[in-house]
Amino acid sequence: MALSAADHVLAMMRIQRRLLATHEPGVRRGTDPEGLHRMRTAARRLRATMRTTRSLLGPPFEPLERELDWLGTVLGKVRDVDVLRAHLRAELRPLDGAGAPVIRRVLAHLETERARARAGVLAALASSRYARLRDGLREALRRPRLAADDVSLVGVARHQFKKLRKAVHALPATPSSRQLHAVRIRVKRARYAAELAEATGGRRGRRFIRKAAALQDILGEHQDAVVAEQRLRQLARTPRGGGPAVRRLLERQRGRRRAAWAAFQDQWPKLERRGRKAWG
């Protein structure tokens, strides 16, 4: 017998809960940055599922949604440093001898920042707050008290796609980084909702998911460039700001942003067509 929408949502959430538990030991040890990324992604997917299916899950899940937001934020502080650190290490290769010390100073600062962020993660995982979240998730998914018998997952996907279209159509000709980051969040929510509806969305739904994932990566590249540029500007204001080397790196980040914006403009119409075909 085919799973109901409620069964499908709960099954997906149980998978993400298991992923949280699977990657927690590695995050505590600090031996696998990718494990931290996967744990954060599991927390975000759980929260996104709760958010988009509130009419089904109801009030018992709302406190868990808030706590997952907290956990994702704590893990994200380490993840954001890891992404920036990897990018700047790659930037070391083409720099000449005069520019390399600038990156090394930034990397040294990031190591200190990462140590503080990692201490925050360890404190969070050792806290009673996290224990309550972990136990609450297990209990809520073991014996769920749903607010409704069922929900249309295609309807959920359609709703999130419409909100994404509205956000993109509201963008000005030259959007700010904040506006594009907000669209990135909408793309992610539309993608996660589509994944919930994948069993009934068919081939068109799967094509939308693939295109949404690609667009999410493009906007992620834009946001990574924004963060890198902000850090480099902070360095430029210090007494040993780096001069031409920092200016060169800043221009590279602006180039990344321009390329990502151009790629978004090229790819968005394709995603919009996929969404219309899949969800109407």
The CA distance from 9 to 195, in Å, is 10
Q: Of 157, 150, 205, 174, whose CA–CA distance to 49 is shortest?
A: 157
Cα–Cα distance for residue pair 209/190, rounded to 1 Å: 9
> Is the per-residue pLDDT at 171 higher than 70?
yes
What is the per-residue pLDDT for 101? 76
Amino acid at 91: E
Helices (H), the chain: 5-29, 33-52, 54-57, 62-92, 100-125, 128-142, 153-169, 177-196, 198-236, 244-279
| Separation CA 45–CA 43 (nearest Å) | 6
pLDDT band with cut points at 50, 70 and 90 for residue 82: very high
Q: Cα 54 to chain center, whole Å?
A: 20
159: number of CA atoms within 13 Å, CB side? 14
Answer yes or no: are the C-beta atoms of 63 and 44 closer than 8 Å.
no
Taking alpha carbons only, the member of 204, 175, 223 closest to residue 278 is 204
Q: What is the mean pLDDT of residues 199-203?
A: 78
Give the C-alpha separation, 252 to 231, whole Å: 13
- What is the reported pLDDT for 247? 81
Residue 152 CB neighbours (<10 A): 14
pLDDT value of position 2: 59
User: Could you give the CA distance from residue 64 to residue 212 in angstroms, rounded to a whole number?
Assistant: 27
Which of these ranges, 69-78, 193-202, 248-257, has the smallest mean pLDDT? 193-202
Supply the pTM of this predicted model.
0.88
